Structure 1
Amino acid sequence: MNLKYLLYTALLSLIGLQSCDKGFEELNTDPTKTTEAYPQQFLANALINTISNNMSRNRSFNNELMQVTVSLGDSDGKVFRYDFRRSWSDHTWNGHFSQLSNYKDMYAKALNEINFSRSYQAISLIMQAYSYGVLTDTYGDVPFTESNLGRDSLILEPKFDRQQDVYMGMFKMLDSANTLLRTGATAIEGTADPLFAGDLTKWRKLGNSLFLRHLLRASHKEEVKAYVIPKIQEILQTNTSVYPIMTSNDDSAILKWTGLGAYVSPYAGTRVQDFRATAICSFFIDYLRDTNDPRINIPLYGKNGTNRWGIATYGGDFVGVPSGYAAVSEDYSKMSYFFSSDQNSGTGNTLQTDPMTGILMNFSEVQFIKAEAALRGWITNGTAESFFYSGAENDIKLWTPTWADNIKDHLMASDREWKTDGSFEEQLEQIHLLKYFALFLVDMQQWYEYRRTGYPVLPKGAGLKNNGEMPARMQYPLYVQSSNPTNYKLAVQQQGADEINTKVWWQKP
């Protein structure tokens, strides 16, 4: 076989290979499917992960700090003793920054000409503001303007924005979301929205209610008062038609755990013996018991021995454990749990399976925000007293919808009625005691509000660490120091030492 023939054969082979490759990509592409993601495909998964993250940290961190529960044991690292390790910081940081990528991708896809949707743009902005709010209220200064840009802009070491700037950025997001939903909203798929089933009016109310939450948190800061106070007044009084907010429990932002598919409560995966290993704190249970609160006294679904929150009794009474108890000091084997002793026999739900535990924000919180605004003289279209009673009543009815007692008579029976002649501080304390119960299960809002106001007044046990001082923040995750060292150091310089007692911007006088 001569050389010319070999070359000719090789040339034909190359041409054949090119011919075989031609059209290969088209032949292997399913014409009935698209490789382009749609904005609605991000929403459900991001919401489930966001709320699951919140529920985890609410149960193990917030509830321990804020005397809802008490972990039993004498080992180190007990949150209820203000003694926790830096590793506690990772969960919230990782969880919310991860979901911010999903919310940002949703926004980018909703800008696409084919998928263009002002509605999904607005929902993305609301949820971005929500996650940034949790992050900055937990750590202080955090990446904001440069966060989550590693993939598209190769910013792998984002700067940390000052908390004041993060807040102003959140306000802009929420105002923009309201405008988008007011001027150009188009219907979205109800099946893609596990929070409101596509009801854009409720999304708009959530955005503006979150707006109020953060405006109130920054309201005492002189450098932003000129914006914050008038905006609170605009939302609550002077421009209410442009800024609708939650007006009933039906507007509450709660992801319902149906127990089907992906909608299984993260609590349901916890072993029963582990879930009940945490006792209820005496501060929390004593108030409910002493006020004859229906949330622990009305049987769930008419079944004896159970109640909506699954609180078990001991010897027929509700017995709590004092928070901050000294190690090796007491026998706390006799106490109540967030667990029904009848759960294993199938006589009712507990918090492990209750569909209502996935709370982003509820109507009662809005009423207590209005109560404080009225008390401070910022609004006059309602009284602090009326909003106080409305918040208290609707919080009870959120969990026990059939409750029909008069809220004033109910509170008066235990000497908890509104103190008409009380001082400003006495009335503010009243608002925040009941707001504390309204914030039950709502991420770490009890902790944030305590840090802002000092209410409710929590008893201090003899076993508290940290000189008995409530931690003011979580430390940054350890890996942030090594993965973003330059900006980490700058953040410490501008905010203060990376320690739990360093106050964030809105905590400082």
Structure 2
Amino acid sequence: MIRKHIHGAAAISLIAWMGLGGLTSCTAGFEEANRPGNAASAEELGRDNYTVGSFLVQMQNAVFPEQENAYQMDEDLIGNYLGRYFTYVNHNFNSANFTTMNAPAGWVNWPFKNITPKFVSAFKEIERLGEGRKDINYAWALILRAQGYLRLTDKYGPFPIGLEKDADAYSSQEAIYNKLIADLDEASEILKNQMGDNDGLIVSAMYDKVYGGKVANWRRFAHSLKLRMAVRMRFADPEKAKKYGEEAVAAGVITQNDQNCTIAYVPLGLHKTSVEWGDSRACADIESYMTGFNDPRLNKYFKEPAERSPGSRAIIGCRAGAKIGNKSVAVPIYSAANVESNTRGIWLTAAEMAFCRAEGALANWSGMGGTVKELYEEGVRLSFRQWGAGDAGTYLNDSWSMQAYYNNAPGGFGKNAPRVSDITIRWNDDGTEEEKLERLIVQKWIALFPDGQEAWNEIRRTGYPKVFDVDQSTGSYNIKVPNRIPFSSTEITENPENLAKAKQLLGGADDYATMMWWQRARHSK
């Protein structure tokens, strides 16, 4: 894999990290076994799967990063802000950030330098300990690695995942997608063979913070990741996208909310960044759409501001890129996330899968399980049920409500703005293909909350939802959201030859404007 990330010192540091508290979110029995003074022998560790389980937990913590620092650096500052769910209200972020497309090098480097080595090294250890066995642990690790690499390639573009002879060489995003889908297929087949006729098989529950050891749910998640990827590459490679999408749905994706991919990690990353630290508040974009739609999920997503002015709306967002004069002024007048420290982190849902199948049907893929209208409405209903927002019938029949004009909080930061979209909610089979796509993606974007990176992916991939301009200058950039983040600056000295090749694979400048492989076919015309 990535040689400089997985040498012996990295593996040793990972083991040391775990011994020093990296597994504090696991069950009480696991913590007791890990307690100093109660050390287990190597034979005992192998006997109860403790060693492999430790690395599986490490992979989960890395690819579903909820630990406060990892969450802020890998998710909040990037996807949550660029997907227009949240924006910063910390005045220390004003001059350099991803929204204004001039983030500090440390921010840009973080996913590559911090997240990558954790799950890559853990995967290698699982391979080593398994001694070549392709069992449930190996399949589980393959799925987790695919989740990790997918989010990284969708941030940077080309990425080193070990496909080349030189372990530090970058692969194209197209090659990465095809490799990850092959890995997901392999994992699915292993799990199918291991499960046999036992769909209720539970394995290593104490190490599974997502599904509690339910093997069938991990298999559904693998198929769901495959469908997510197939839809993402729909415009870049329509033939393969159709093949992969039809295969994924036929194999069985997540269709019910009790199958949603969510992780137990206390404290939740979003609670830290938005509620406890107060660095992040609702973004004006999602607030204006949901306010205009009279969407009952809005109060499930965000809290009323502490200092709400009389007569003002219940939830108030802040413009992306607003120049915050003082955090202490901004925090009480804009809405925080409506989460608790023990709320589960949400990473993939049945609602998203319904919208993916709806788009597949729109693209004339077979076997999606319904018409575009039926699947669109199913996505909305699943999301309403997921959030306890009541019946979606009235909402789905609304053919007049549109995005609201944005009015800033009194005494707040950033400018008011007229709406940028006139799309409505009710499905219209007689609309143009572009109108259908916008309507579908706007509702998918709302339902994807709080997974900001997926929201950012949809904005980049389709151009929807239409969003407000950044409230500050973005220098020479004339785009509203970045198409990517630059490669890690450390590669200039640590891996210069491969970095040069990576830029060739990128097909453009190593900046915020160069498009992802899966964007170009739709947006380069």
TMscore range, shorter length: 0.7 to 0.9
> In structure 1, which of residues 386, 405, 430 is the aligned counterpart of residue 439 of structure 2?
430
Q: How does 1:89-104 map to 2 (within 5 A)?
A: 89-93=108-112, 94-104=114-124
> In structure 2, which of residues 189, 209, 218 is the aligned counterpart of residue 203 of structure 1?
218
> In structure 2, which of residues 251, 255, 264 is the aligned counterpart of residue 256 of structure 1?
264
> In structure 1, which of residues 334, 357, 369 is the aligned counterpart of residue 356 of structure 2?
369
User: In the alignment, does 2:167 pair up with 1:167?
Assistant: no
Q: Is the CA contact 2:85–2:282 (under 8 Å) kept in the aligned structure 1?
A: yes
> In structure 2, which of residues 355, 374, 377 is the aligned counterpart of residue 389 of structure 1?
377
Structure 2 Cα separation of the partners of residues 422 and 29 of structure 1: 65
Q: How does 1:67-146 map to 2 (within 5 A)?
A: 67-72=84-89, 73=91, 75-93=94-112, 94-111=114-131, 116=133, 118-145=135-162
Residue of structure 1 in register with 2:416 after alignment: none
AA aligned to 1:476 is: F
Structure 2 Cα separation of the partners of residues 145 and 407 of structure 1: 51
Structure 2 Cα separation of the partners of residues 352 and 63 of structure 1: 18
Q: Is the CA contact 2:63–2:147 (under 8 Å) kept in the aligned structure 1?
A: no
AA aligned to 1:77 is: A
1:433-452 per-position Cα deviation (integer Å, ceiling 9, x unaligned):
11112222225111122111
User: In the alignment, does 2:79 pair up with 1:62?
Assistant: yes
User: In the alignment, does 2:292 pair up with 1:290?
Assistant: yes
Residue of structure 2 in register with 1:473 after alignment: 484
Q: Is the CA contact 2:83–2:455 (under 8 Å) kept in the aligned structure 1?
A: yes
Structure 2 Cα separation of the partners of residues 95 and 280 of structure 1: 26
Residue of structure 2 in register with 1:280 after alignment: 282
For residue 180 of structure 1, report the CA deviation from its aligned partner.
0.6
For residue 410 of structure 1, report the CA deviation from its aligned partner.
6.1
User: In the alignment, does 2:318 pair up with 1:321?
Assistant: yes
SS in 1 for 2:347: strand
Q: Call closer, same or farther: CA 1:41–1:323 in 2, change over 3 Å.
A: closer
Q: Is the CA contact 1:71–1:78 (under 8 Å) kept in the aligned structure 2?
A: no
The TM-score with structure 2 as length reference comes to: 0.75
Structure 1 Cα separation of the partners of residues 153 and 392 of structure 2: 40
1:71-94 per-position Cα deviation (integer Å, ceiling 9, x unaligned):
244831143333323332222112
> In structure 1, which of residues 172, 181, 192 is the aligned counterpart of residue 191 of structure 2?
181
Q: Call closer, same or farther: CA 1:226–1:71 in 2, change over 3 Å.
A: closer
Structure 2 Cα separation of the partners of residues 447 and 232 of structure 1: 21
AA aligned to 1:490 is: K
AA aligned to 1:253 is: C
1:122-154 per-position Cα deviation (integer Å, ceiling 9, x unaligned):
11111111111111111111111259x9xxxxx
For residue 412 of structure 1, report the CA deviation from its aligned partner.
4.7
Residue of structure 2 in register with 1:266 after alignment: 269
SS in 2 for 1:279: strand
Unaligned runs of 5+ in 2: 1-38, 196-200, 402-423
Q: Call closer, same or farther: CA 1:460–1:443 in 2, change over 3 Å.
A: closer
> In structure 1, which of residues 330, 333, 336 is the aligned counterpart of residue 334 of structure 2?
336
Q: Is the CA contact 1:392–1:407 (under 8 Å) kept in the aligned structure 2?
A: no
User: In the alignment, does 2:508 pair up with 1:484?
Assistant: no
Structure 2 Cα separation of the partners of residues 210 and 204 of structure 1: 10
Q: How does 1:435-474 map to 2 (within 5 A)?
A: 435-442=444-451, 444-461=453-470, 463-465=472-474, 466-469=476-479, 470-474=481-485
Q: Report % sequence identity.
A: 22
For residue 487 of structure 1, report the CA deviation from its aligned partner.
0.9
Q: Call closer, same or farther: CA 1:269–1:427 in 2, change over 3 Å.
A: closer
For residue 336 of structure 1, report the CA deviation from its aligned partner.
2.5
For residue 421 of structure 1, report the CA deviation from its aligned partner.
1.8
CA RMSD of aligned residues (A): 3.1
Q: Is the CA contact 1:324–1:461 (under 8 Å) kept in the aligned structure 2?
A: yes
Structure 2 Cα separation of the partners of residues 411 and 199 of structure 1: 39
Q: Is the CA contact 1:62–1:447 (under 8 Å) kept in the aligned structure 2?
A: yes
Unaligned runs of 5+ in 1: 1-27, 150-154, 258-262, 298-306, 340-349
The aligned length equals 437
AA aligned to 1:55 is: Y
SS in 2 for 1:70: strand
Residue of structure 2 in register with 1:502 after alignment: 514
Which 10-residue stretch deviates more, 33-42 or 194-203?
A: 33-42
The TM-score with structure 1 as length reference comes to: 0.77
SS in 1 for 2:477: helix
Residue of structure 1 in register with 2:31 after alignment: none
Q: Is the CA contact 2:147–2:225 (under 8 Å) kept in the aligned structure 1?
A: yes
SS in 2 for 1:359: strand
SS in 1 for 2:277: helix
Larger Rg: 1
AA aligned to 1:106 is: I
